[in-house]
Structure 1
Amino acid sequence: MSVPVSAEHEKIKKFDWEPSYFHRDAHYPTKYKIPPRTKDPFRTLVREYASMEEEKDDRTYGSLEDALARMSNPSEAEPRFMEVMKPVLAVVNFAEYGALKCASMLVDTVSNPELRQGYLAQMLDEVRHVNQEAYLSRYFAKHAPDPAGFNSGFKMRAFDPLARPGRACFELFMNDDPITNAVNLQVVSETAYTNPLFVAFTELAAANGDQATPSVFLSIQSDEARHMSNGYATLAAVLTEPDNLSMLQLDFDTAFWRQHCFLDNFQGVVYDYFSKSRTMQSYRDYWDEWVWEDWGGSYIERLEPFGLQLPRWIGDAKRHVQWGGHTMAMVSAALWPVHAWRSDYMTEADFDWFETNYPGWEKHYAGFWTAYREMADPRHGQLALGSLAPLPPLCRVCQMPAVLPRPDINEMQLAIDSAGRRHAFCSAPCFQIFRQDPAKHQGLTWWEVNDGVELARYIEEFGLLRSDGRTLIGQPHLHTSERWLWTIDDIRRTSFVLTDPLKSLPADAFTRI
């Protein structure tokens, strides 16, 4: 008579032991108390897990190399949408790497066999996801009509002014207490934000003719559902210890705000500005459904009897989602020369869609996009960067432009510390997060790193030219005619110099801390 799978699973967990040949506390200690036994979030034997994931990977890689390659699918997709896949894959791949590190730290830290099995499987998932997304980048580099940028995405995320905030966000998966990392990763990012990214985004990709991205992203999201279970099990374990509650709420509040600062603004740009064939919903609609109602209302609110409250600043986040993505799109477009992707201008059809879905959009943003379209022709010799006066400083905490949620109602706060160093913050929450632990937030912003550098020199130094050595990878349009393509000579003629705007602000605008 065969033994039930559930019985085998329980037996395997009994083999967990504490090794005597090294001290577990020496690696990644945690301030949290974790009970030695809890409910198992995974309940899948390794043998079953491996065969299941092997079958999924075979389907994913097979579809990319066979059917989709033979159909030359990327050439059929909307060019505007294909451009946004360049930063999306680069940034999301880094998030997967951070998730891999987080899960491996948890395996080392948490002496709980039920939780550790889930963490181990998640670590294997994250290795697969890193490889799948790197493979998709390679696939697009081989098959996309304009491959420039796909081949340099991983390098770009180290220096691009909008990829750096992504790194700052996703480094929170691996640079703190392992349980704090898990709150950022499993409880907030994977549970609140992977549905908009891996589910709703695939709908957008398919609507724009990209069939390759859904084949990879939907496979990944089927794993994320298990990772959400890991997050719930982690929360349940932490909440059983009363001494954890105050620490958990502080970490949870901070984690949500930090994930919101980048993910909501980044995804707002991706959804609303890089699509020709738009779905019926705007990013704000997706956010209301997946984050506000599903995650906040149906998930976190039900944990309130156990001691965990809704994130302190979730109301501020809801308010910011109305305009934050539009502001970020404007700043991103103005920075087009330093990107490894093309930033298309908006048309009258786009204007109509925005005004329908975000009433008041035309009043606040149409002027910029009209001017941006006029400056797309290099013969005019004008850069959109010059139209943003003054240029926004970057937040010391989240590294985002400090003009959110909208330039005319921005919530920027300025401070100067005892050493005389100036800091900008995009919002009161980021300022408060800084004051909780200033030592964590002393890194240089993109403006500070490149202060005084000529724009032409920056482009050459960071390899932002195409194979001909003169045409920029980034362009303020999608035209392919040589007449429309900006070259490094066009940039030199502008004589534009990158300057940290924080330096020019009057001293009396700063609060002393």
Structure 2
Amino acid sequence: MKITEAYDRVKDLEWEPTYITPEQKSVETTRFFIKDTKPNDPFKTFVREYCEQELEKDDRHYALLEASTRLSTGEPDARWMEGMKFGLSNLVGVEYAAARAMGRMARTVAPVELRQGYMMQMLDEMRHSNLEMNVIRHHMRNWKDPVGYDIAAKANANSVGSAIFRSMVEDLMTSDPVETSIGLQVFIETAYTNLFFVGLSSAAAAHGDDMMASTMMTIQSDEARHMANGWSTLSALLSDDRNIPMIQEAMDKWSWRIHCSFGTGNMLFSDYFVNKRTESGKEMTMRWVMDDFYGGFYQKLEKFGIKPPKFLDQMVTDLDWTSHTTAVYLFGAWPVFFHRFDGLNENDFEWFEEKYPGFTENFGAFWEAYNDCKDPDNRKLILKELGGLPNFCQVCNRPTIFPRQDLARPRSVLFRGKDYCLCSDGCEHIFRKEADRYVGSKSFYDLYEGKELSEVIQALGYVRDDGKTLMAQPELNPKRMWTLDDIKACDYVVERPPMPPRSEPEVV
């Protein structure tokens, strides 16, 4: 029997149960018209074949993990390894959220051809979470300073920096289930995972992190399947003209949301967590995302009436400064993180000035101040010298200093008698359409306003086992490590900044 015939026979086992209503069978509804479409199955794969494929990949990967644990292959680069404490803690959360999202899709979308792909993708995402947790475990056991790896899951839940990614995945998991496919499968997986899993796997290998390189590559082989899922879902939606306005709305929203979250992380990792560079974060994003995705995949949608994303031009111009502004945020707020930071050296300055003309003029003063505040005996805290943390956007949770502090256009919007801070035209557009979805989350200031900084660090749990030394440090090899007493001596109290000017009209 041909595989197509066998696959069709399996699909014929689909039935409508009589003990529940159709509405009870689909636990969530969607506003999109997809129930009666006839989509193409993205890949005709049986569960048995799928499991055999994944088992073979796991056998190869975990053999490498075991060999690396037993046999020393040299010490990996410290800047990379410390940066991955932050990077991996967020990546695991994104993968697990993707698994939950695919479970929702499988319980919502009617065509069996699509549900089969969603269920396999859900298994993929759980596999990815486990792979990444095992890398964290490996690094925790083998890296010379495991502190930070040991609280990766907790830090993903409470780190102020991780809020950028948490807000994105929470938005995905609570959106219309079919809209979730557009955000996850079209924008994260089709637009950005080549950059992340392929581009950064080479960076991991170059910096001696063989485990991370192997993990990224074995994950990316699954991402091709997820991209196929996204295209099958999208093509099914495009077959009904009633979906076109809703698809356009979702494209406008999720292109911007993923740019502000996954795109921001990619830029930071590509430029600031590495010592050995071949391409800048901007060059990688232009090649993998702007040229390959928007210049190729996305243009195919124009014949269906889909227009370029509303904020695409802003996304392109942001690339000049996104990684550097993100670094100012992370390095400036280093005490409320959980890894060691590595400030810039002369080679970094030369590289950035070459790749980002104007870098020194716009960011040189920050790095000069940062270097002056690294020694705890100086009793100078960079966060205090900068005037404290800025406001945070109610939608994307980034600080309102993007794309660059002097170019930023923060604004507040009145909704039900309360002002909410927003960072950009894109986030204001999203907030005005669905304000109810974004007003429930508590900001950093809601949690910690009025507290002295050492109290905040203790509340976060970012203190080493001696009960006094900070997990985070402003340099890789300090003469003396910062303690809670050093932070207290700097006398910094968290204060909420004034709200930016109000944007009219009021949201109703």
TM tier, shorter chain?
A: over 0.9
Structure 2 partner of 1:184: 183
Paired letter, 2:72: S
Alignment of 1:34-433 (within 5 A): 34=34, 35-65=36-66, 67-73=67-73, 76-278=75-277, 280-389=278-387, 391-419=389-417, 421-433=418-430
Q: Which residue of 2 aligns with 1:497?
A: 493
Q: Deviations over 1:181-218 (max 9, x none)?
A: 11111011111111111110101111111111011111
Alignment deviations for residues 360-410 of structure 1 (CA, whole Å, 9 cap, x no partner): 100000111121112111111111102323632000111101111001111
The 8 Å contact of residues 417 and 512 in structure 1, kept in 2 or not, is answered as: no
Q: Deviations over 1:142-169 (max 9, x none)?
A: 1111110011011012221110111101
The answer to whether the Cα contact below 8 Å between 2:452 and 2:493 also exists between their aligned partners in 1 is yes
Q: Counterpart amino acid of 1:235?
A: L
Which one is further off, 5-14 or 42-51? 5-14
Answer whether contact 2:95 2:125 (CA < 8 A) is retained.
Answer: yes
SS of corresponding position for 2:468: coil
More displaced stretch, 451-460 vs 5-14: 5-14
Displacement of 1:307? 2.5
Change (3 A) 1:37 1:20: farther
Question: Does the C-alpha gap of structure 1 residues 24 and 467 become closer, same or farther in structure 2, counting only changes over 3 Å?
Answer: farther
CA contact (8 A) 2:37 2:239 kept: no
Percent identity reads 36
Paired residues, what number? 502
Q: TM-score, normalised by structure 2?
A: 0.96
Please give the alpha-carbon distance, in whole angstroms, between the structure 1 residues aligned to 2:164 and 2:98. Answer: 17
CA apart distance, 1:418: 4.3
Q: CA deviation at 1:55?
A: 0.8
Match of 2:437 in 1: 440
Letter in 2 for 1:288: M
- Superposed CA offset, 1:316-371 (max 9, x none): 11111110121111011011001011121111111111101111100000111121
CA contact (8 A) 1:64 1:212 kept: yes
Asked if the contact 1:118/1:230 (under 8 Å) is kept, the reply is: yes
Whether the 8 Å contact between 2:390 and 2:401 is mirrored in structure 1 is: yes
Residue 18 of structure 1 and its aligned partner are, at CA, apart by: 2.2
Kept in 2, the 8 Å contact 1:376–1:484? The answer is no
1:416 deviation in Å? 3.2
| Superposition RMSD in Å | 1.5
1:14 matched residue in structure 2: 12
| Aligned residues of 1:30 and 1:177 also touching (Cα < 8 A) | yes
Q: Is the 8 A contact 1:378 1:486 kept in 2?
A: yes
Q: Give 1:69 deviation, angstroms.
A: 1.1
- Give a deviation string over 1:420-455, Cα, whole Å, max 9, x none: x22221101101111111111102221222111111
**Partner in structure 2 of residue 454 of structure 1:** 452
Q: How far apart, CA to CA, are the structure 2 residues paired with 1:411 and 1:115?
A: 42
The question of whether the paired residues in 1 share the 8 Å contact of 2:388 and 2:494 is answered with: no
1-structure distance, mates of 2:115, 2:43: 10
